[in-house]
Amino acid sequence: MAQQLHFLMIPLMSQSHIIPLTDFAKSLARRGALVSIVTTPLNAKRYNPTLASSPRIHLIPLHFPCREAGLPDGCENLDSLNSLDLARQFFHACRLLKSPLHDLIRRLHPSPNCIISTSAISWTQDLADSFRIPRYVFETVSSFTLHCSRKISHLVDSVSFDSELFQVPQIPHSVEFSRNQLPRIRTRLPTPDPAPPRGTLVNTFQELEPWYLNACMEERGSVWSVGPVSLSNRGASERFSRGNEASIDEHYCLKWLDSMERDSVVYACFGSLCTLSIEQITEIGLGLEESNSPFIWVIRKQEKSCGEVEEWLAAEGFEERVRGRGVVVQGWAPQVMILAHPSVGGFLTHCGWNSTLEGVAAGVPMIAWPMFAEQFYNEKMVVDSCADKQGLVRRERVRSAVVELMGERGMRERAEALARAATDAFEDGGSSFLNVTLFIEDVVRANAEMAVNVLESY
């Protein structure tokens, strides 16, 4: 039956949404389904190479209305914005895609059997309703985040001080937050759709957070855990273009890692949206150096500080000083492949959910350094913590966190056990594999129900 199904995927134009949805597309394509992913010209250029071995998956580029929404040309992805202050214009540009998307769906052949969109673009429900096809929401955060953010939404503004701790009520674990751990951007966390979707797909697995998945099912009805979707890339190359963004050859990274001892390397990366000051970047680099652990350090290309970073690296002679023991990447690095390498023994991360799950799937213990949005929730699921979310984190703290992590064998054993559970869930017969089957069956059932409704309406 899956061979006859056509899934239309509409992600928010952000790496944190496009990447997991594209990975999930690979799971569906392996079941014989046809998958079309709506994107933009620049995003298509970026992600097309990752789909070269997936003939059942097609990217459909649409013009992204940057100018119409008051954005500079080329801002087709959330991580391309010079400042998150432009986020309002970016989300407006996304909403302007509604009319061209309607025309696209009308012309698609074969017609799509459903729409899968990420939670930030709930207006796609109108498109699904107009074509009488079911819509499913793909959540790019954990079920822990979905449930806890709902539980505390009415508590955040009732506390007296930003530093005052409050407990998440009615959950089986003792979890506390303060208001300064949940910045203004918390209002963009997933909220219930104005018109409910047919069901919800979550990039997690049952064995990682069973209680919170069950709680989400009670709140939402049909919920399927289908992750970690990054495992759909096992054995595949991660090479793809980043346009003008500097990157590093994945084979250089892997060859360098081959020369390192097992579990000896720290991988430090803070995602595609976190913006760090030159002072903080400096402290991270010096802390990594002083830890005496081999490391790969990825520095995001930031419009405002790119020149300053290069000047600091050159003035300090940093790369020459750590040559043989450290690799500095300005731009993109093949994260999934690096984390999966046996030489990597620790992950210094911003705790974005994609990165957190990739670390879990690779069995790599983590140092948590959350910066905004759901990253603070994900920190609660990670073993160690580096930052207090306020002010400059000095090199001494970076160094001590790395030293502690790399010397802790028990933490590594727990991480490896989680990785085995993730792999078992994703492989044939595992909980996530079975949930993908149940989801496909629901799409078939939904189309049959809608066909009957159409016939009865005549």
Is residue 302 pLDDT above 50, yes or no?
yes
Q: How does pLDDT run across 372-381, given as a tens digit for each residue?
A: 778 888 988 7
In this structure, how many other beta carbons lie within 10 angstroms of the beta carbon of residue 369? Answer: 24
Q: What is the largest CA-CA distance in the chain?
A: 77
Is residue 271 pLDDT above 50, yes or no?
yes
- Which one is predicted more confidently, 236 or 59? 59
Do 184 and 36 have their domain in common? yes
Is residue 190 pLDDT above 60, yes or no?
no
Domain count, the chain: 2
Residue 206 confidence (pLDDT): 96
Q: How confident is the model at residue 236 (pLDDT cuts 50, 70, 90)?
A: low
User: Considering the domain boundaries, does residue 97 fall inside one?
Assistant: yes
Is residue 249 pLDDT above 60, yes or no?
no
Range of weakest confidence among 228-242, 250-264, 325-339: 228-242
Residue 194 confidence (pLDDT): 57
Encoded amino acid at 394, one letter: R
Phi, psi of 451 (to 5 degrees): -65, -40
Q: How does pLDDT run across 384-421, given as a tens digit for each residue?
A: 555 555 578 899 999 999 999 998 888 889 999 999 99
Do 221 and 353 have their domain in common? no
User: Considering the domain boundaries, does residue 244 fall inside one?
Assistant: no
Is residue 137 pLDDT above 90, yes or no?
yes
Q: How confident is the model at residue 451 (pLDDT cuts 50, 70, 90)?
A: confident
Q: How confident is the model at residue 455 (pLDDT cuts 50, 70, 90)?
A: low
Do 81 and 93 have their domain in common? yes
Do 185 and 67 have their domain in common? yes
Burial class of residue 413 in the structure, from the number of CB atoms within 10 Å of its CB (0-12 exposed, 13-18 middle, 19+ buried): exposed
Do 161 and 221 have their domain in common? yes
User: Considering the domain boundaries, does residue 65 fall inside one?
Assistant: yes
* Cα-based angle 55, 60, 65 (whole degrees, multiple of 5): 160
Q: How does pLDDT run across 75-102, given as a tens digit for each residue?
A: 999 888 877 789 999 999 999 999 999 9
Range of weakest confidence among 226-230, 278-282, 317-321, 406-410: 406-410
Q: How confident is the model at residue 237 (pLDDT cuts 50, 70, 90)?
A: low
What b-and-e string marks burial along 144-183, b requiring 16 or more CB atoms within 10 Å of the CB? bbbbbbbbbeeeeeeeeeeeeeeebeeeeeebebbbebbe
SS3 288: helix
Average pLDDT, the chain: 87
Residue 8 confidence (pLDDT): 98
Residue 260 confidence (pLDDT): 96
- Give the structural domain span for 302: 250-421
User: Considering the domain boundaries, does residue 241 fall inside one?
Assistant: no
Preceding peptide of 228 cis, ω within 30°: yes
User: Considering the domain boundaries, does residue 440 fall inside one?
Assistant: yes
User: What residues does 38 pair with on adjacent strands?
Assistant: 60
**For the domain that residue 88 is a member of, what is the CATH number?**
3.40.50.2000
Residue 359 confidence (pLDDT): 96
Do 193 and 329 have their domain in common? no
**Contact call for residues 113 and 447 (beta carbons, < 8 A):** yes
* Whole-number Å distance between alpha carbons of 347 and 367: 6
Do 348 and 448 have their domain in common? no
Residue 187 confidence (pLDDT): 36
- Which one is predicted more confidently, 302 or 449? 449
Is residue 49 pLDDT above 90, yes or no?
no
Do 48 and 191 have their domain in common? yes
User: Considering the domain boundaries, does residue 375 fall inside one?
Assistant: yes
| SS3 readout for 290-322 | HCCCCEEEEECCCCCCHHHHHHHHHHHCHHHHC
Q: What secondary structure letter does DSSP report for 168? A: P
Q: How confident is the model at residue 383 (pLDDT cuts 50, 70, 90)?
A: low
Range of weakest confidence among 128-142, 377-391, 423-437: 377-391
Is residue 275 pLDDT above 50, yes or no?
yes
Is residue 3 pLDDT above 90, yes or no?
no
User: Considering the domain boundaries, does residue 243 fall inside one?
Assistant: no
Encoded amino acid at 301, one letter: K
Residue 91 confidence (pLDDT): 95
Residue 390 confidence (pLDDT): 55
Share of the chain above pLDDT 70, in %: 88
Do 13 and 140 have their domain in common? yes
| SS3 readout for 393-422 | CCHHHHHHHHHHHHCCHHHHHHHHHHHHHH
Is residue 285 pLDDT above 60, yes or no?
yes
User: Considering the domain boundaries, does residue 240 fall inside one?
Assistant: no
Is residue 244 pLDDT above 80, yes or no?
no
Is residue 191 pLDDT above 90, yes or no?
no
Q: How confident is the model at residue 107 (pLDDT cuts 50, 70, 90)?
A: very high
Range of weakest confidence among 66-75, 162-171, 296-305, 431-440: 296-305
Do 147 and 215 have their domain in common? yes
Do 197 and 267 have their domain in common? no
Q: How many CA atoms lie within 13 A of 271 on its CB side?
A: 27
Is residue 135 pLDDT above 60, yes or no?
yes
Name residues whose C-beta falls within 8 Å of residue 410's C-beta, 6 or more positions apart in sequence: none
Do 358 and 312 have their domain in common? yes
- Which one is predicted more confidently, 244 or 129? 129
Is residue 247 pLDDT above 70, yes or no?
no
Q: How confident is the model at residue 345 (pLDDT cuts 50, 70, 90)?
A: very high
